[in-house]
Amino acid sequence: MKLTAPLYMLRHGETAWNTERRMQGTKNSALTERGRAQAIAMGRALKAELEREPGPTRFLRSPLGRTCETALLVGRELGIDPGEWRDDPRLAELSYGEWEGFTWAEIEADHPNALSQWRADPHGFSPPGGESHFDLRRRSAAMLADIIASNMRTVVVSHGVSGAVLRGINLGLDAKAMFVLEKPQDAFFRLLAGVEERIACEAVVAAQD
């Protein structure tokens, strides 16, 4: 089955841990000022998109704090009530288990071959106590199937890896190709019928006094 109504995939704005290159997973880090500006810019660009073809729209988000914060900022630009957002745990980020909160440098100090092992087997590799891409793909496929079945235009705010996997399923990619998909925070994607369109957003960060 393929999408017959547009699906807009947004990633949360930049967080403090993003700037430190820390693994977030199921833990949370608040949006930076730049991240909030990115969310507002996505909301404005999305509003223009939705106004081109007015119609009923579902609003879904990961229940993690950074996606909820992003969704509220996006929704404010769209002029929707915050209650229109529905949390779905299937949209949550890949769990990195014991690695969450650590940088790659810190992880590789204890696990020198971690990144190379993950790249060699992106489908089956699992961080200690975490989740494999196989697990993530299974819940992402179920999520996409529900969105397709609704036959309704849908907006999703999720994460870098979980969002890439859902997009990859739409594109018919294998795990290795999903692993290297772009995961921008200054753009979002319009998915439909096995293809996607990248929509850039220009964030304006206020100057510091």
| H or E segment to which residue 39 belongs | helix 33-52
Q: How wide is the angle at C-alpha 39 spanned by C-alphas 99 and 169, nearest 5°?
A: 60
Beta strands in the chain (DSSP E): 7-11, 57-61, 85-87, 153-158, 187-192, 195-200
In this structure, are residues 19 and 185 in contact, taking their beta carbons and an 8 Å threshold? no
| H or E segment to which residue 41 belongs | helix 33-52
- What is the C-alpha separation between 72 and 68, in angstroms, rounded? 6
Instruction: Write out pLDDT tens, residues 176-193.
Output: 899 889 999 999 999 999
What pTM did the predictor assign?
0.93
Query: Annotated active-site positions, please?
Result: 12, 93
Interhelix angle 160-171/133-150, rounded to 10 degrees, is 60
Task: Read off the pLDDT of each residue in 163-185 and give the average, rounded to a whole number.
Answer: 94
Find, among 29, 100, 25, the residue nearest to 70 by Cα.
Answer: 29
Q: Which two tokens stand for residue 164?
A: 């890439």
Which backbone phi and psi does 78 adopt, to 5 degrees? -80, -20
Q: Which residues contact 180 (CB under 8 A, 6 or more apart)?
A: none
Instruction: Write out pLDDT tens, residues 45-94.
Output: 999 999 998 899 999 999 999 999 999 999 999 999 999 999 999 999 99
Q: How confident is the model at residue 204 (pLDDT cuts 50, 70, 90)?
A: low
pLDDT at 209: 42
